[in-house]
Amino acid sequence: MRKIKLFVDAHSFDKEHQGTRTFIKRLYLELWKLRPDIELYFGARDIDNLKEEFKEIEGCRFIQYRSSGTLRRLLFEIPLIVYKYKIDVAHFQYIGAFIKNCRQVITTHDVLFNDFKEEFSLLYRITRNVLFRYSLKNADVKTTVSQYSKLSIQRHFKIPAGDIYVTPNSIGKESFVAFDKSLSKKYINDQFNIPSYILYVSRFEPRKNHVQLLRAYLDLKLYLKGHHLVMLGHTSIKTPAFDKLLAEQPAAIRKFIFISASVKDADMHHFYRGAEVFVYPSKAEGFGLPPVEAAALKIPVICSNTTAMSDFSFFGEYHLDPGDYGLFCKKLDKMMNALPGEAQLEKVAEAIFREYSQTLTALRFNEALSTCFPVA
């Protein structure tokens, strides 16, 4: 019997790390074990990177895109790839190919531009609504990463709830393996001269609320206690309030604030593991993976409780409304003065493993995929 040919648009692997890239990697590292009847194809410009990322998968094929442009990729290249390799189903994040010549799976991670219109430009909202609506209309299988996003997609695009499958972001198995925190702390100190730090990993946008964390860090004078503030992520949308507050600080304080738009994988690995505290004050997320990743490593976390992050009740008293600045400062100060014990951190990690393991997400995705291609 001929295998089902599944093509994955993996162009996100040509860019900086982001949630869609992590989602694809962890999903397919598990799905290929569940579906031996599927033959996987991945498309991107940097296929050497793809080969490294998916080296565990036996027999998959890598197809190199000729163009980095979105329009050319979706209008010409992918339809031609589908035709040439006789692809049965193609998986896209957010936006599918404009010419549909096979079945399509669309994963819409969020539609925050509709729920938080003030955070996005009018042009951004119009183009996303047109493209997302078109893609969802053509999709044979529709998935998203949280119950919050499912309800939003259902509401804004008038799609029946039963047509949308929730396949959450997952946590890599490596996050649940014991490690020596002191080695990562030493690495970060040796490489970046940062002995103790609060970490925030997220691209810069106003809704990500970097300005609140910076203001709290300054108001609590945590730099006087030797704690640095580390913010890792590129700028997607300008953050003038954050930029202004940072520029106002004297050099003696700014030296305690480390910001980087591009961090090597090995360095990011150690930044997570060596952090004293991970803080995620974002106002809105389709899922919100970084705080869950940090907590799986048994790093103390303070996380917002809004939008999709409302599901993260395992953070207990440190699961809070980012709009309450007074409470935010109080909890940050409390955590920095008395870190949670090992037993509490272990309890949170166990809850995350139960809810967001790679295997569970792959099983849920396979359930959705099986509506078109049942297991033989």
CATH superfamily of 173-355: Glycogen Phosphorylase B; (3.40.50.2000)
Mean pLDDT of the chain: 95
For 128-177, how does the pLDDT look when each residue is reduced to its tens digit (9 = 90+)?
A: 999 999 999 999 999 999 999 999 999 999 999 999 999 999 998 888 88
Q: What confidence score (pLDDT) does residue 373 get?
A: 84
> What is the b/e burial string over 190-224, where b = at least 16 CB atoms within 10 angstroms of the residue's CB?
eebebebbbbbbbbbbbbbbbbbbbbbbbebebbe
Residue 352 host element (H or E): helix 342-356
- Is this prediction's pTM over 0.85? yes
β-strands 38-44, 319-320 pairing: unpaired
Angle formed at CA 363 by CA 360 and CA 369, multiple of 5 degrees = 145
Q: State mean pLDDT over 42-67.
A: 93
Q: Check pLDDT > 80 for residue 18.
A: no
Quick one: pLDDT band at residue 15, thresholds 50, 70, 90?
confident
The residues with which 371 forms a beta bridge, in sequence order, are: none
55-77 pLDDT tens trace: 999 999 999 999 888 999 999 99
> Rounded to the nearest 5°, which phi and psi values hold at 81?
-65, -45
DSSP letters of 6-25?
A: EEEE-GGGGSS--HHHHHHH
Q: What is the pLDDT of residue 179?
A: 86
- Burial of residue 230, with CB atoms counted within 10 A of its CB: 0-12 exposed, 13-18 middle, 19 or more buried: buried
Task: Provide the residue type at 160 as one letter.
Answer: P
Fold of 4-170+357-369: Rossmann fold (3.40.50)
| Joined tokens for residue 319 | 């699961």
| Mean pLDDT, rounded, for 178-197 | 95
Please say if the pLDDT value at position 337 is more than 70: yes
Confidence of residue 19 (pLDDT cuts 50, 70, 90): confident
pLDDT category at 217 given cuts 50, 70, 90 is very high
pLDDT at 308: 97
What does the angle CA 115 – CA 310 – CA 324 come to, to the nearest 5 degrees?
Answer: 80
Q: Are the C-beta atoms of 107 and 93 separated by less than 8 Å?
A: yes
Q: Which two tokens stand for residue 22?
A: 């992590």
**Would you tell me the crossing angle of helices 181-192 and 265-274 to the nearest 10 degrees?**
120
Count of residues making up the chain: 376
pLDDT beyond 90 at 1:
no
Q: What is the mean pLDDT of residues 279-303?
A: 97
Contacts of 155 (CB under 8 A, 6+ apart): none
Phi-psi map region of 193: left, alpha, beta (phi>0 left; psi -120 to 50 alpha)? left
Residue 332: the pLDDT is: 98
Q: SS3 of 358, please?
A: helix
Helix (H) or strand (E) holding 212: helix 210-219
In this prediction, residues 240-250 reach a mean pLDDT of: 97
How confident is the model over 200-214, as pLDDT tens digits?
999 999 999 999 999
Give yes or no for residue 231 having a pLDDT over 90: yes
CATH 3.40.50.2000, the chain: domain bounds: 4-170+357-369, 173-355
Residue type, 36: P
State which H helix or E strand residue 219 sits in.
Answer: helix 210-219
pLDDT value at position 376? 62
Q: Name the band, by pLDDT with cuts 50, 70 and 90, for residue 361.
A: very high
Q: Mean pLDDT over residues 318-325, rounded? A: 96
Residue 107: name the closest of 14, 8, 38 by CA: 8
- Residue range 253-277, pLDDT digits in tens: 999 999 999 888 889 999 999 999 9
**Which band of pLDDT confidence, cut at 50, 70 and 90, is reported for residue 317?**
very high
**Strand runs labelled E in the chain:** 4-9, 38-44, 61-64, 89-93, 103-107, 141-144, 164-166, 197-201, 228-232, 257-260, 277-280, 301-304, 319-320
End-to-end Cα separation, the chain, in angstroms: 9
**Residue 290 pLDDT level (bands cut at 50, 70, 90):** very high
Query: What percentage of the chain carries pLDDT values higher than 90?
Result: 90
CA 203 to chain centre: 10
User: Average pLDDT, stretch 84-89?
Assistant: 97
